[in-house]
């Protein structure tokens, strides 16, 4: 079985920046993150976080993601440009 992960632009940009800073591929960053997760997968709080993240991802970007640009047209303001996330490189 092959597993593919789809990331929005706001999610993939911080991964790419981290990979570039470490001079590795984005896949290396994702594999390292998965490796760390799986080493703690038996812990109840980690299992709970996985379920909660799945539910939250339906409507929200993770804290490490870049902010998504917003339109603000309904407020008569110019569009906001995406910005680096608070927890990303």
Neighbouring C-alpha atoms within 13 Å toward the C-beta of 80: 11
Neighbouring C-alpha atoms within 13 Å toward the C-beta of 17: 15
Tell me the domain boundaries of the chain. 9-75
Helices (H), the chain: 9-22, 26-39, 44-57
What is the tens place of the pLDDT at every residue in 37-48?
A: 999 999 999 999
Percent of the chain as helix, strand, coil, to the nearest 5: 50, 0, 50
What is the tens place of the pLDDT at every residue in 18-76?
A: 999 999 999 999 999 999 999 999 999 999 999 999 999 888 888 888 876 555 445 56
Neighbouring C-alpha atoms within 13 Å toward the C-beta of 30: 14
């Amino acid at each position: 079985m092959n597993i593919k992960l789809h990331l929005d632009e706001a999610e993939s940009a911080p991964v790419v920046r981290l990979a570039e800073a470490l001079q590795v591929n984005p896949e290396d960053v994702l594999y390292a993150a998965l490796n760390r997760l799986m080493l703690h997968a038996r812990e109840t709080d980690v299992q709970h976080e996985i379920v909660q993240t799945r539910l939250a991802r339906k409507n929200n970007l993770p804290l490490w993601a870049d902010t998504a640009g917003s339109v603000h047209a309904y407020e008569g303001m110019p569009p906001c440009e995406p910005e680096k996330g608070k927890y990303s490189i």
